[in-house]
Amino acid sequence: MLAGLKARRVAKLPSDVRFAGRVLFLAEAAGLVSRQLEGEDLTWSPAIKLRDNISTDEITPAYICYYYDATLGDFPYLGLKCGEDFPITRGAVKRGGFVASVSGKRRGKGSSREQSPYAEMCAGIRLVVAENIERIYRENCQNLGLLATTDFSIIDKVRRGEAIPLAAFTAGEGEITRGIIEYGGLFNFNVARLQGEVVLTAPATPRRAMTLGEKIIARHWVVDPSRGTIGVPAVRPGDEGFVVTDIRFSHEYVTPMAAIFFEQLVGPDEKVNDPGSVLMFRDHLTFLGEAMTPERVKEGLLDVALQLEKKQREFAARQGIKLYGELRLGHHGSEAICHSKILEGHAEPGTVIIGSDSHTPHAGAVGCLAFGVGTTAIFNSWITKDVRLTVPETVKITVRGKKPDNVTAKDFMLEILRHPYVKGGQAIGRLVEYCGDAVESLSVDERATMTNMTAEVGGFTGYVAPDEKTVAYLMEYRGLSRAAAARLCAGLTSDPDAEYCEVIEIDAGAIRPMMALPGDPGNGSYIDEAAERIRVDIAYAGSCTAGKKEDMDMYARVLAEAAERGERVAPWVRFFIQCGSQDVKRYCDEKGYLELFRKVGAQFLEPSCGACINAGPGVSKTREEVTISAINRNFPGRSGPGQLYLANPYTVAASAIAGHITEWQPGMALASKES
């Protein structure tokens, strides 16, 4: 493979770029967006209120990602919610002749799906302008060759068709990002690197006190790829380079697009580098047939989606890659959700893991550096086994004190997500170190709820330093001896005088059960402060975040009490419980939970992402439906068109019985007579 790539001709882009086309302002007012689609060009003024927090779910809703080729160009922004309206329809952006797309804060938050910038590119967008841009989305843009800036003065230059120096997009960037932009994308840059056309400056950071995240990066730093020299004494924030990975994984939403890039750009008969450390998962769409509307099925979308499974399965088989697949037991479901299985079966303290999914930090619960990357980065890692990275600054989040019994790691995260520093986007792209006695007292499962939701924080990744609980986890889940598990954890702590860009202190004792109001996980508030009773139609207990053994313990704790009182799920509520893996299901079976769930009227589902990604039982069907869910994000449209509230597992189970959102107290009666 490398011989072929070494002979490939790649060249840099010209030093000036021009944009021939219109500018699309993604405004809060649906009418303004519609007028642009009808042909009106708006004059830019800060008085135009731009949409903030445009997630990748809004740029390309989950069902759009069943496409993995240029067809995506028909669909950008189909999920964009402006007030109560969705003003952008299929093909409208492409027809409009737009070349630049402008929005407000935190553009591209949420899922790491590269289909979003790829859809924009395929619709003709070549430039993204936003007040700030989420890390993975920005990297995906760079990797694909889509230019991105936070400089709004560029809008007038685009309008005038002026030549804009490429340097305007590389200013302030490090050597590698600059190179990727100049080469028009990551693949060309990597080819130039393999050819010796690009020789990266050796890192020169002297020994210094480091955070745990920085230490893991330093240990994995690629110094000389031709000699396989790995590791430097120290790194500091801003150092840019490549790190060698221990595990690379992807799921069926991403693998097919990466496979196509691989086959087209590298060659259909070429082999990936070290397939033994690559894993693939069929987890997102196994229940899709039960969630897709008849209209979408009629449009052929179910058939399109099934191609994702087929393409991944064939590619994995051809490449000799381990695939955690779909069950074939007469019912739908997966062997495991990717994050669940990576944590249960693969992640080791101190390692580097990359995954095609924004919740890859889940595995940071055992003290590894696990982060999400886009399709192009995964595809390139199949060639080089490494991944680019700029050393982020580290935010330390200390949670101290004794939490109330009915408060969980989910509440810690909802509290953290509404902290002004996090809500204002200042943690974007940073390492997040969770510590303090309240974190130390959590199980690894609960720590994973925190590291998982680093995606919602917008962080590069999150981790918890390994300790005795990690040792016990590795012994239980991997069958390691105590000595072997302790060896893996040894020395993995932050130095006492390590530098943090911010320290956030949270008092666990002051937190009460929370809910995040629909629209954003940062909309947290205490349940006991709700102005009125919120009746629920659906309760969903599952996903990578909330489908672990300890989550099941929490649902079961509430439901066992309810069952003893003869209470059942409220008649008007549909309650779904779904594990993250077959291991968790076996655990539920052994503990008698499956029987308990059935007894109280909950519907148990085989492991899969399902409703969490709007692709399984538990999704809402109308805007009026209200869901209480233990998943990690509630962006518009995430789990159907309804109103999605997030809460901890106790709250979800208690609300299913009560029929309205309620926090849970041990021993409280829940059943409501309301109908």
Q: For residues 358 and 461, what is the distance between their CA atoms, to the nearest angstrom?
A: 9
**Binding-residue pattern over the window 28 to 67 for ligand SF4, x denoting contact by CB under 6 A:** ----------------------------------------
Residue by residue, DSSP assigns 500-551 as: -SEEEEEEGGG---EEEPTT-TT-EEEGGG-SS--B-SEEEE-STTT-SHHH
Q: How far is CA 306 from CA 280, 326, 553, in A?
A: 16, 12, 34
Neighbours of 541 (CB within 10 A): 30
Q: Which stretch binds ligand SF4 (CB under 6 A): 102-110, 271-279, 584-592, 609-617?
A: 609-617
Phi (first) and psi of residue 255, to 5 degrees: -50, -45
Told to check if 544 binds ligand SF4 by CB under 6 A, we report yes
Residue number, 545 or 643, with CB nearest to ligand SF4: 545
Residue 322: both structure tokens together: 């381990």
Q: How far is the CB of 313 from ligand SF4 (least distance, A)?
A: 19
Identity of the amino acid at 539: A
> How many residues bind ligand SF4, per CB under 6 A?
12
Q: How far is the CB of 324 from ligand SF4 (least distance, A)?
A: 13
**Binding-residue pattern over the window 271 to 300 for ligand SF4, x denoting contact by CB under 6 A:** -------------x----------------
- Please state whether beta strands 386-390 and 240-244 pair in parallel, antiparallel, or not at all (unpaired): antiparallel
Q: How far is the CB of 189 from ligand SF4 (least distance, A)?
A: 29
Among 357, 411, 551, 663, the residue binding ligand SF4 under the rule CB under 6 A is 357
Q: Which stretch binds ligand SF4 (CB under 6 A): 240-248, 255-263, 305-313, 607-615?
A: 607-615
Candidates 68, 96, 93, 99; CA nearest to 80 is 93
Residue number, 193 or 284, with CB nearest to ligand SF4: 284
DSSP SS3 for 19: coil
- Please state whether beta strands 514-516 and 278-281 pair in parallel, antiparallel, or not at all (unpaired): unpaired
- Please state whether beta strands 514-516 and 524-526 pair in parallel, antiparallel, or not at all (unpaired): antiparallel
Q: How far is the CB of 605 from ligand SF4 (least distance, A)?
A: 12
Q: How far is the CB of 238 from ligand SF4 (least distance, A)?
A: 30
Residue number, 169 or 575, with CB nearest to ligand SF4: 575
Among 112, 454, 632, 634, the residue binding ligand SF4 under the rule CB under 6 A is 632
Residue number, 96 or 355, with CB nearest to ligand SF4: 355
Among 36, 543, 620, 634, the residue binding ligand SF4 under the rule CB under 6 A is 543
Q: DSSP E strands: which ranges in 238-310? A: 240-244, 247-251, 278-281
Q: For residues 615 and 253, what is the distance between their CA atoms, to the nearest angstrom?
A: 12
Asked whether the beta carbons of 73 and 127 are under 8 A apart, the reply is no
Q: How far is the CB of 14 from ligand SF4 (least distance, A)?
A: 39
Told to check if 456 binds ligand SF4 by CB under 6 A, we report no
Q: How far is the CB of 416 from ligand SF4 (least distance, A)?
A: 17
Residues 521-540 close enough to bind ligand SF4 by CB under 6 A: none
Residue number, 211 or 627, with CB nearest to ligand SF4: 627
Residues 322-341 close enough to bind ligand SF4 by CB under 6 A: 337, 339
Q: For residues 256 and 285, what is the distance between their CA atoms, to the nearest angstrom?
A: 14
Residue by residue, DSSP assigns 599-650 as: HHTPEEE-SS-GGGGT-STT---STT-EEEE-SS---TTBTBSSEEEEE-HH
Q: What distance separates the 2 farthest-apart alpha carbons in the chain?
A: 74
Q: How far is the CB of 545 from ligand SF4 (least distance, A)?
A: 6
Told to check if 546 binds ligand SF4 by CB under 6 A, we report no
Residue number, 133 or 612, with CB nearest to ligand SF4: 612
Q: How far is the CB of 431 from ligand SF4 (least distance, A)?
A: 21
**Binding-residue pattern over the window 149 to 188 for ligand SF4, x denoting contact by CB under 6 A:** ----------------------------------------
Residue number, 281 or 650, with CB nearest to ligand SF4: 281
Residue number, 336 or 369, with CB nearest to ligand SF4: 336
Among 102, 212, 514, 609, the residue binding ligand SF4 under the rule CB under 6 A is 609
Told to check if 613 binds ligand SF4 by CB under 6 A, we report yes
Q: For residues 506 and 144, what is the distance between their CA atoms, to the nearest angstrom?
A: 39
Q: Which stretch binds ligand SF4 (CB under 6 A): 193-201, 292-300, 324-332, 606-614?
A: 606-614
Please, which residues have CB within 8 angstroms of residue 353's CB and are 6 or more apart in sequence?
245, 246, 247, 248, 249, 342, 346, 347, 360, 363, 368, 369, 370, 371
Residue 227: both structure tokens together: 């000699």
Among 64, 148, 266, 612, the residue binding ligand SF4 under the rule CB under 6 A is 612
Residue by residue, DSSP assigns 53-73 as: --BHHHHS-GGGGG--SGGGG
Q: How far is the CB of 215 from ligand SF4 (least distance, A)?
A: 28
Q: For residues 438 and 130, what is the distance between their CA atoms, to the nearest angstrom?
A: 37
Asked whether the beta carbons of 112 and 359 are under 8 A apart, the reply is no
Residue number, 284 or 548, with CB nearest to ligand SF4: 284
Q: How far is CA 436 from CA 184, 384, 586, 620, in A?
A: 44, 38, 33, 38
**Binding site residues, ligand SF4, CB under 6 A:** 284, 337, 339, 357, 359, 543-544, 609, 612-613, 631-632
